[in-house]
Amino acid sequence: MHIIRREYITVFFFCFFINVSRGFAQKENLDVFQQWVIWNNAGSMLIHDLIGQANDYYTLRDGEIAKLKTRSDWQKRQVLVKDKLLKLVGPFPEKTPLNARITGVLYKEGYRVEKIIYESMPNFYVTGCLFIPDKIDGKIPAVLNVIGHNQEAFRAELYQKVYLNLVRKGIIVLAIDPIGQGEHVQYYDPGINFSSIGYSVIEHCYLGNQCLLSGVSPGRYFIWDGIRGIDYLLTRDDVDPERIGVTGFSGGGTITSYIAAFDDRVKVSVPCSWSTASRRQLETKGVQDAETIFIRGVAEGITFEDLLEVRAPKPTLMTFVTRDQYLSIQGARESFGEVKKAYALLGYEDNLDLVEDDFKHWMTPRIRLRIYEFFMHHFDLPGDPAEEEVTILSEAELTVTPTGQISTSLGGDMVFDVNKRETEELIRNLEKSRKDIARHLNGVMVKAKGISGYNVSEVFEYEPFLNGRYQRDGYTVGKYAIKGEGDYVIPLLLFVPDMITGKHPAIVYLHPEGKAAEALPGGEIEKLVKKGYIVAAVDVMGTGETKNTATRPLGPGYTAVLIGRSVVGIQAGDIVRAAGYLKSLDYVDNNKVGAVAVGETCLPLIHAAAFDTSLDNVTLIGSPISYRAVAMNRFYKIGLIENEGGGIGHPYEVDFSWGIAGVLTGYDLPDLIGCIAPRKVVLADLQNQRLEPASSELIERDAAFPRSVYSYQNVPGNLRIVSSYESIESLVDWCFD
């Protein structure tokens, strides 16, 4: 046995601990929420706050519903809801000639297929197929079939099983291509024979974001196509106008509920796998695609239940599965329970039913049978409701246009084109208002706060929580959290030079990748700190540690739309709070607090600086130049998240955290920059809607108004627009000079 001397052991462990401690000293963890139990899921912080605000509105609505005790109470509410729905979704276009035409006819055993094109608006084409039973005696019932998110639309096998069986029961069925599906692809690229944006859900959100900027709930277009489809059915001699129905599955269930709520001609409605309580949907599966949301819908007290209640006591069948991947079965049951009360008080309790099956998102055989029974019963049709075997038609057989796409066969307008024309009117209104600079800016301040959902109290109480600090060469990095607007805290890193004396200028630093993006030694923040600036690098809600991980990327942005808020407006409040925190520090010069933002974080900073004068100056690096540029150009890149391996079908996820619903009805980014005057603003490397350097022509157009404001206030030199620059710190130095 070898004997190891004690001093050798002592030296060994001493060296070991020295090396280990050096390793720990070199490794920094800049997460503020490190080992913080109550904030251990910071990625859900933003959506939880938004859902909490939505729940406040739901609670108010619950109180209103609880007061409805009589038939008259419900009838009064129906009038109220109908009016709100029209304001939220409308105004609908004028009904113009459908110019319907048949492009072909197929003769099949027991029925024929007429291939139909009609114009729901002038030059806005809708494709569909009309399935007509043989041996019609007089006028018979007709059902409009709107389709879920299958790319092939009504040509999919499941849908054919349903509508061909309805035809066998003696019902005419009109199945149409929803926007973004079938032959109605909005961004069709002949080079790949598919949408350049991706499959239907992605298209819906992509075009939907442009509509939302202009203050239009995109569901309006889906609803209107369906209403005009009913108009077409009623032009036919073989359709009974007193027996009109509508049905659809999944996304088609959404539109079924909407059409049936808006169109009194719909006698029987069968929304499949959709009508679930709004509260439960947000709490469980989350908000869905753009066409499912109404701007300020929840804030106005409108929920999915209202869509059923407003048409009571007309026959409605809800269908649902218990293991739906996208929708809440608990919500469906609660929705059914509430709506049932309305039907009971209106005297037609049996006109509402719910059928369930234990399955995933689908129309199971049990559900399909109940659909046939329900239509047959309420259309007074005799016969056996049992499902029959049907021969599925090929996609080619059901193609309506020569090329298989409206865009390459007929041209015409897409949703973008219609929305662009409406947006042009909004832009003209803004340009007219800008001619009276002082009055316009006063109006913008009021409108922008309301539209963006900005909400900051006048008084802050700062009790920052310190969760660690690192000593670096010449400065310290503190990990802090300060109180946010709601039930959340804002994480920030505070960079303070060593041995400071007196008052120092301070900067709020924002980056779309979070506070740590430029926080490492040698990064942009260190360069600023070593020039004597105190820097608070902030994770505004939805960035950095608080980046959404709880829902699909679209979750926070669209949830905010429902409650009349925007993520941008909430983030602007976070920035103002961060600036206020800096001003609360003894070693900060309260008259010299500025801010730097990169990329999309420029959007909330522009709002924060316009709304609050606590920011002495702002430096914007790579800011989107305007919301106008997004709404007025067919293709944009902001809010697109590349989906690695998604192929042509799912190349992107779509986000709206950068957007503000209705922004162009009241203001744009150039107007807010005008509101910042006479304080200094740097606009460096402005970006167009594709997140590319903005052209000189685009800059000249969108910067014209803020330049005029700075000239009006006799400080034209305080607005600096540059395409190239030496360094960020040189721009910041100019701002503080």
Phi and psi torsions of 121, nearest 5°: -135, 160
Percent of the chain with pLDDT over 70: 96
271 in Cβ contact with 257 (< 8 Å): yes
- The residue that leads in pLDDT, 409 or 14, is 409
**Cα gap 307→537, rounded to integer Å:** 45
**Strands annotated E in 456-562:** 465-472, 475-483, 489-497, 504-510, 534-538
Domains of the chain: 87-91+107-393 (3.40.50.1820), 428-736 (3.40.50.1820)
Tell me which amino acid residue 638 is.
Answer: I
pLDDT at res. 23: 43
pLDDT higher than threshold 80 for residue 495:
yes
pLDDT at res. 27: 86
Q: What contacts 380, CB < 8 A, 6 or more positions away?
A: 243
Q: How confident is the model at residue 457 (pLDDT cuts 50, 70, 90)?
A: confident
Q: How confident is the model at residue 458 (pLDDT cuts 50, 70, 90)?
A: low
Q: How confident is the model at residue 20 (pLDDT cuts 50, 70, 90)?
A: very low
Strands 475-483 and 489-497: antiparallel
Count of alpha carbons within 13 Å of 316, Cβ hemisphere only? 32
pLDDT tens-place string over residues 232-257: 999 999 999 999 999 999 999 999 99
Name the token pair of 24. 């720990």
143 in Cβ contact with 159 (< 8 Å): no
pLDDT higher than threshold 70 for residue 477:
yes
pLDDT at res. 9: 38
pLDDT at res. 8: 40
**Cα gap 180→186, rounded to integer Å:** 5
pLDDT higher than threshold 60 for residue 18:
no
Q: How confident is the model at residue 17 (pLDDT cuts 50, 70, 90)?
A: very low
718 in Cβ contact with 736 (< 8 Å): no
Q: How confident is the model at residue 6 (pLDDT cuts 50, 70, 90)?
A: very low
pLDDT at res. 300: 97
pLDDT at res. 459: 67
Q: How far apart are the first and last CA of the chain?
A: 75
Q: How confident is the model at residue 487 (pLDDT cuts 50, 70, 90)?
A: confident
pLDDT higher than threshold 80 for residue 460:
no
Q: How confident is the model at residue 188 (pLDDT cuts 50, 70, 90)?
A: very high
Angle of CA points 107, 113, 119, to nearest 5°: 150
Averaged pLDDT for residues 690-708 = 98
Exposure letters 215-252 (e unless 16+ CB within 10 A, then b): bbbbbbbbbbbbbbbbbbbeebeebbeebbbbbbbbbb
**Of the candidates 310, 316, 148, 328, which has an alpha carbon nearest to the alpha carbon of residue 222?**
148
pLDDT higher than threshold 80 for residue 149:
yes
pLDDT tens-place string over residues 380-404: 999 999 999 999 999 999 999 999 9
pLDDT tens-place string over residues 292-314: 999 999 999 999 999 999 999 99
**Cα gap 256→230, rounded to integer Å:** 12
pLDDT tens-place string over residues 504-555: 999 999 999 999 999 999 999 999 999 999 999 999 999 999 999 999 999 9
pLDDT at res. 243: 98
**Cα gap 273→359, rounded to integer Å:** 11
Q: What is the DSSP letter of 499?
A: T
Q: What contacts 426, CB < 8 A, 6 or more positions away?
A: 214, 215, 664, 665
pLDDT at res. 463: 84
Q: How confident is the model at residue 26 (pLDDT cuts 50, 70, 90)?
A: low
Residue with tokens 């002495």: 616
Look over the chain and give the mean of its residue pLDDT values, rounded to a whole number: 94
pLDDT higher than threshold 60 for residue 608:
yes
Name the token pair of 528. 């600023």
pLDDT higher than threshold 80 for residue 325:
yes
**Cα gap 626→433, rounded to integer Å:** 17
Cα distances (Å, whole numbers) of residue 323 to 28, 254, 358: 44, 18, 7
**Of the candidates 446, 423, 579, 420, which has an alpha carbon nearest to the alpha carbon of residue 507?**
579
Q: Is the dihedral of CA 387, 251, 288, 623 positive or negative?
A: positive
The reported pTM is: 0.94
